[in-house]
Amino acid sequence: MKIIQISVFLENRKGRLYEVCRLLGEHQISIRALNIAEATDFGVLRMVVDKPEAAQKVLRDNHFVASRTDVVAVEISDKPGGLADVLHVLSKEDLNVEYMYAFVEKRSDKALVVFRFDDTEKALRLLAAHHINVIRQAELAGL
Amino acid sequence: MIFNQAMECMSRDEARHLQSERLRKLVAYLHEHSPVYRAKLDKAGLQPAAIRGVEDLERLPFTTKDDLRDNYPFGLFCVPRSEVREVHVSSGTTGNPTVVGYTQADLDLWGEVVARCLYCAGARPGDMVQVAYGYGLFTGGLGLHYGTLKAGLTALPTSSGQTKRQLKLMTDFRPRILACTPSYALFMLDDARAMGLDPRESSWEVGLFGAEPWSESMRGEIEATWNMRATDIYGLSEIIGPGVAQECEHKNGLHVFHDVFLPEVLDPNTGKAVPEGQWGELVFTTLTKQGMPLIRYRTRDITKITYETCACGRTCPRVSKFHGRTDDMLIIRGINVFPSQIEHVLLQIEGVQPHYQIVVDRKANWLDDLEVQVEVDEKFFSDEIKVMQALEARIRHEMETVLGIAAKVKLVEPRSIQRSEGKAKRVIDKRTL
């Protein structure tokens, strides 16, 4: 049950992040989770949005480099040690996490964390085997 | 002092006579020893006997950097490779570098002309010359070195870099002459001050600065800060390296050693000579070289020429400080860089033609900065920052390998490189040269 992340190349220049958010807002696209990785002169913006196809189109139309990446949104108990429990499973199963970040919102007593694995399919199998709940793309709109 | 009074001060008639005689021999020599030139002469319908002297020079075909590239590596050599004593390599426009070969006689000639440069700039017998040009494939270091030996002076072959050591040896050995790029002369100021040296008290009294274009304001800065005379030396590896032309103490144009390098100044579009004193492209014929003589080599450097005798007594014609190029070659920290080389590197890395822009700037420390901005394309974009950084590092590494100088690589968003009439402007040179 992977979900689509939109990854955007951003130069370290004033107003670039604003421009992305403005475009998405104008097109009624809602950002559910986001993270920025930065290097010296550039950054990569990663977002989970409710309408990924529309988001990629509007960004491309405005000359942004916007690609799709498969990620997994994992439900985690919102209590001390909740994330550790999931990471324990992952490390035991020798699964590499390229990066991860938390959702802007959460539902009830669960927190949502986006994982980018080096092997998404393997990760999904393992998470299912350990009864760790992952969010489906369709569920994102309702969050 | 004039190193070779007979050659540097002969009358114009004597020069013309000598040049004509040497040109006739050169054409016959090339016809006999160079398949490339034989083909060129045949194509022009010229038998060697048709060239009677300099009055027939303009009938001869041109030679360009493309001829060197097409005959890489040794196709233009007129002697067996075993007779070549030294080769040097400089930038080509794409792919293959430019190779030049010297016989022993050519190395002797090189020493001779650089020795003339040293005395022309103001060297005196007994001087020590600090050669802070790079030694190696670049002709700057070894050219000045051979000239120093031929001039009977003492060489201090520091090569470029290691500035604090340069300055320590200058302080301890007291060389009177400095040879390096003009930007390096200014770059050394900061280190000198950091070491507690007063630059005005340096032992250097005369500098031979070249391998890159520099302005009168840079000259003023070097002369004021280091309290020395700053002269311009010119050369290009295709002709011989440094030693093709040199300013004297009057700093009123660079003396061309016309007994061995026959200059012309032409309209770059028509290929016809421009009147004396008008700007045009400098073209050289090497009159006496053996290993790789060239006929009417298009330097792409823009200058003007005067045949008036200089106040120093030399009759050799003088060319003005250079006024740019007819092509897009950049000279960065003394190294020739063609935008096409950069494009070539990018093409090899991505397999697609990325949009790029080259930004050259001269920083407060007087050294040139080369930045290559590459527009990111979805084909090589990754959501993983380490992949992007690895790509940046790879471009930087390839660039340095091919260009021979460090370049900063900056990944930029699509469309951030300005386009005029749909065509990207490839080079932005912010230096005021």
Name which of A41, A98, A99 is nearest B411 (Cβ-Cβ). A41
Looking at the structure, do residues A29 and A59 belong to the same domain, yes or no? yes
What mean pLDDT value characterizes chain A?
Answer: 91
Looking at the structure, do residues A110 and A55 belong to the same domain, yes or no? no
Q: What average pLDDT does the segment A126-139 reach?
A: 89
Burial of B421 (0-12, 13-18, 19+ CB in 10 A): exposed
The contacts of residue B118 (CB under 8 Å, 6+ apart) are B3, B127, B129, B147, B148, B151, B153, B177, B208
Nearest CA in chain A to B374: A11
Q: How far off is chain B from A109, nearest CA to CA, in Å?
A: 30
Q: Quick check: A143 pLDDT over 70?
A: no
Q: Do A116 and B378 touch (CB under 8 A)?
A: no
Looking at the structure, do residues A64 and A75 belong to the same domain, yes or no? no
Nearest CA in chain B to A10: B413
A64 part of contact set with chain B, CB < 8 Å? yes
Buried b (16+ CB within 10 A) or exposed e, B249-286: eebebbbbbbbbbbbbbbebeeeebbeeeeebbbbbbb
B416 close to A65: Cβ distance less than 8 angstroms: no
Q: What are the pLDDT digits (tens) for A86-120?
A: 999 999 988 999 999 998 666 677 888 999 999 99
pLDDT confidence of residue B433: 62
Query: How far is residue B303's CA from residue B284's CA, in Å, rounded to a whole number?
Result: 13
Looking at the structure, do residues A114 and A126 belong to the same domain, yes or no? yes
- Show which of A69, A89, A114 is a domain's final residue: A69
A6 part of contact set with chain B, CB < 8 Å? no
Q: Number of structural domains, chain A? A: 2
Looking at the structure, do residues A87 and A29 belong to the same domain, yes or no? no
Looking at the structure, do residues A48 and A104 belong to the same domain, yes or no? no
- Show which of A69, A89, A112 is a domain's final residue: A69
Q: How far off is chain B from A18, nearest CA to CA, in Å?
A: 15
Name which of A9, A13, A46 is nearest B376 (Cβ-Cβ). A9
Q: What average pLDDT does the segment A44-48 reach?
A: 95
Residues 96-135 of A with CB under 8 A from B: 98-99, 116
Query: Taken in order B70, B73, B74, B76, is the CA torsion positive or negative?
Result: positive
Per-residue pLDDT of chain B (433 residues; tens, 9 = 90+): 999 999 999 999 999 999 999 999 999 999 999 999 999 999 999 999 999 999 999 999 999 999 999 999 999 999 999 999 999 998 877 668 899 999 999 999 999 999 999 999 999 999 999 999 999 999 999 999 999 999 999 999 999 999 999 999 999 999 999 999 998 998 899 899 999 999 999 999 999 999 887 888 889 989 999 999 999 999 999 999 999 999 999 999 999 999 999 999 999 999 999 999 999 999 999 999 999 999 999 999 999 999 999 999 999 999 998 888 888 888 888 888 888 888 888 877 765 556 788 999 987 777 888 999 988 888 889 999 998 999 899 999 988 988 888 899 999 988 777 765 555 678 888 887 6
Q: Which residues of B touch A99 (CB under 8 A)?
A: 384
Buried b (16+ CB within 10 A) or exposed e, B329-363: bbbbbbbbbbbbbbbbbbeebeeeebbbbbbbebe
Q: How far off is chain B from A122, nearest CA to CA, in Å?
A: 19
Q: Do A42 and B414 touch (CB under 8 A)?
A: no
Looking at the structure, do residues A35 and A57 belong to the same domain, yes or no? yes
pLDDT confidence of residue B424: 60
pLDDT confidence of residue B92: 75
Query: How far is residue B62's CA from residue B292's CA, in Å, rounded to a whole number?
Result: 15
Residue A60: CATH number of its domain: 3.30.2130.10
A11 part of contact set with chain B, CB < 8 Å? yes
pLDDT confidence of residue B315: 96
pLDDT confidence of residue B265: 97
Looking at the structure, do residues A82 and A45 belong to the same domain, yes or no? no
Looking at the structure, do residues A60 and A106 belong to the same domain, yes or no? no
Q: Which residues of A touch B416 (CB under 8 A)?
A: 11
Q: How far off is chain B from A37, nearest CA to CA, in Å?
A: 7
Q: What are the pLDDT digits (tens) for A24-45?
A: 999 999 999 999 999 989 999 9
Looking at the structure, do residues A60 and A97 belong to the same domain, yes or no? no
B241: helix, strand or coil: strand
Query: How far is residue B29's CA from residue B102's CA, in Å, rounded to a whole number?
Result: 16
- Show which of A69, A91, A113 is a domain's final residue: A69
pLDDT confidence of residue B200: 96
Looking at the structure, do residues A25 and A44 belong to the same domain, yes or no? yes
A12 part of contact set with chain B, CB < 8 Å? no
Looking at the structure, do residues A55 and A78 belong to the same domain, yes or no? no
Domains of chain B (ranges, CATH numbers): 1-327 (3.40.50.12780), 335-429 (3.30.300.30)
pLDDT confidence of residue B216: 85
For B227, what's the count of Cα atoms within 13 Å in the CB-facing half-sphere? 6
Domain interval for residue A102:
70-140
pLDDT confidence of residue B420: 54
Q: Do B381 and A16 touch (CB under 8 A)?
A: no
Task: For residue A134, give the amino acid letter.
Answer: V
Q: Do B413 and A63 touch (CB under 8 A)?
A: yes
Q: Do A7 and B383 touch (CB under 8 A)?
A: yes
ipTM of the complex model: 0.86
